[in-house]
Structure 1
Amino acid sequence: MDGPHGLRVTAEDFGLEGPRGWAFRGVRLDAEPGSLIAIEGPSGSGRTCLLLALTGRMKATEGTAAVGPARLPKQLAAVRRTSALAHVPGVTDLDPALTVGEHLRERALLQRRFGGSLRALLRPRGERAGEAASRIDAALAAAGLDPDTLPKGPRTAVRDLERVETLRLSLALALIGRPRLLGVDDTDLKLSDAERSGVWALLTSLTESGTTVVAVCSEAPEGAVVVSTAPAATAGTADEETPGTVPPAAPAAPAKPSEDGVGTADMTTDADADKPVADKDADADADTATTPAADSDSDSDSDSDSGNRDRKTADALA
């Protein structure tokens, strides 16, 4: 594959805070172009959030990072134009009903429509088809996936693929755009030792062709630039009495999309109240409503006692 030149990735005290607290915090990184960067940590430690932040899909709330000449968190769009994602649940999910060939043709068409230049769109149809076929063949070769070896060839549905084949297909789809930075999630999830070794060898070969690869894993391979998201590495220092912990964040309003289409969290809360303001007002109105009633009962009792005393006085005079 005619690989592009990779991008250098750096980060300094990089962090992202969401409605439930810090997804990751204090990340420091310095990886040369063409490096294999392994985001290592247990599930739920913010690995995917860090992957999405480094590829311009999530906006960090603390620190800075740089992907090539683009700076984060300000230049998200610039990072997205030079990066691609593969095998990220909820982001790059494959349609199980579509075939391998349909996925590849669809991605090549989208790349030509949205990733190419206007001049490329005006070329003759034969040239455009040849360019698309060339991109697909190069991406499949780089991902180590040969459709002819599948049960039904290119007409094999995604639902019939093995897990490692699904991963390779997702990689091939991402590589059609010839990214300079490739992000891969769940690299070693539910794979055998042999399959895991094969995937790491594949990602290493991509870096040797010039692409910088960021891969999420539970255990990093030898030779990778390791970024740990384990709790001890992402812990904050706000609670001085209990080092290594981050105090829980106050309940937040729902997340709102920012102007550039990247998700952000609105952390504005009513920290002084446990109940909505409407409930507090209703309780206050209820308390106010019961006070005059109590006073009215008291006045009524007083008038009744006064009337009894007047009748007794009249009877005595009679």
Structure 2
Amino acid sequence: MDSPHGASVTAENFGLKGPRGWAFRGLGVDAGPGSLVAIEGPSGSGRTCLLLALTGRMRPTEGHAKVGGLRLPRKMAAVRRIAALGPVPGVSELDPAFTVAEHLRERALLQRRFDGSLRALLRPRAERVATAQERIDAALDAAGLDPATLPKAGRTSVRDLERLEALRLSIALALIGSPRLLAVDDTDLKLSDAERAEAWQLLRSIADNGTTVLAVCSQAPEDAITLRTDSAGSTDDAVGADGTTAETAETAETATGETTTEEGTADAFAETGRA
């Protein structure tokens, strides 16, 4: 029997510290392949740092985690190969001057160049183009984005997209590489209630089709496995969709008197890098 496509995500006592404090600390989760995992908390509470740490883009300070059976931080490069970033400000943002079609062509080209086998690279050009278009079409369908409905179809500039359309495009770009884990930052930022519901429905459908989803948000849906990074509280729990507690999250003052701060989050970005 084939193993599930999605990557399991587990963590215990997971933390990341910058020079002036903890970006996050004491977090734990146990999510199987194809799970929808919401990272919930206010801005500045370490949400994005946690997202990047679990996708192999930031080095944790304490605890351990496994993504698809790959241990962090030892296998960060391997985790990056199976985890794709959707929109993450300052890391994987859309270029506002590019059109939708240009973004899609560029991503398909990069995917073929860096992830394709030698045999695939030596195939006739027409066959390579057809394969790339199939990937693009499948990703757009999974992301629920039809370029034909946009004001100028594929020639529509990113700057002219609505917020939800831009989110769908970013997700489509990430899905072109058929990742086992999809990571999305600021999922519900600047969305109306109806648009927020659409966004979660989209991510839920991607998870239901087998790809594990990590999504940063200010308010998680009830059916998601939720990791809370609320620096304003004393403690919070990582709660599964069935209401079970996965692990206690120490996000306020710790036993040693150290605190999780917005400055700590910023310092963690600067010190660990995002490559």
Q: What's the TM-score bracket when you normalise by the shorter of the two chains?
A: 0.7 to 0.9
User: What RMSD, in angstroms, separates the aligned Cα atoms of the two structures?
Assistant: 2.0
Whether the 8 Å CA contact 2:21–2:259 is kept in 1: the answer is no
Alignment partners' CA distance in 1, 2:154 and 2:97: 13
Q: How does 1:55-204 map to 2 (within 5 A)?
A: 55-204=55-204
Greater RCO structure (CA 8 Å; 6+ sep) = 2
Alignment partners' CA distance in 2, 1:92 and 1:245: 29
- 1:245 to partner: Cα distance: 4.4
Q: CA deviation digits over 1:112-167, x for unaligned, max 9?
A: 00111121111111111111000000000000000000000000011111111111
- 1:19 to partner: Cα distance: 2.0
> TM-score normalised to the size of structure 1?
0.75
Structure 1 or 2: larger helix share? 1
- 1:95 to partner: Cα distance: 1.1
- The structure whose Rg is larger is 1
Whether the 8 Å CA contact 2:11–2:27 is kept in 1: the answer is yes
Match of 1:237 in 2: 255
Match of 1:137, SS? helix
Which stretch of the first structure deviates more once superposed, 118-127 or 221-230?
A: 118-127
Alignment partners' CA distance in 2, 1:99 and 1:213: 26
Match of 2:52 in 1: 52
- 1:256 to partner: Cα distance: 5.8
Alignment partners' CA distance in 2, 1:19 and 1:138: 44
Alignment partners' CA distance in 2, 1:187 and 1:98: 22
Q: CA deviation digits over 1:239-261, x for unaligned, max 9?
A: 2xxxx846998xx9x9567xxx7
Partner amino acid, structure 1, of 2:256: A
Alignment partners' CA distance in 2, 1:83 and 1:245: 30
Whether the 8 Å CA contact 1:39–1:47 is kept in 2: the answer is yes
Residue ranges of structure 1 left out of the alignment (5+ in a row): 264-318
Whether the 8 Å CA contact 1:237–1:245 is kept in 2: the answer is no
> TM-score normalised to the size of structure 2?
0.87
Whether the 8 Å CA contact 1:59–1:262 is kept in 2: the answer is no
Whether the 8 Å CA contact 2:99–2:156 is kept in 1: the answer is yes
Change (3 A) 1:18 1:168: same
- Number of residue pairs matched? 250
Alignment partners' CA distance in 2, 1:206 and 1:255: 32
Q: CA deviation digits over 1:23-58, x for unaligned, max 9?
A: 000001000110000000011000000000000000
Match of 2:111, SS? helix
Alignment partners' CA distance in 2, 1:165 and 1:107: 17
Match of 2:189, SS? coil
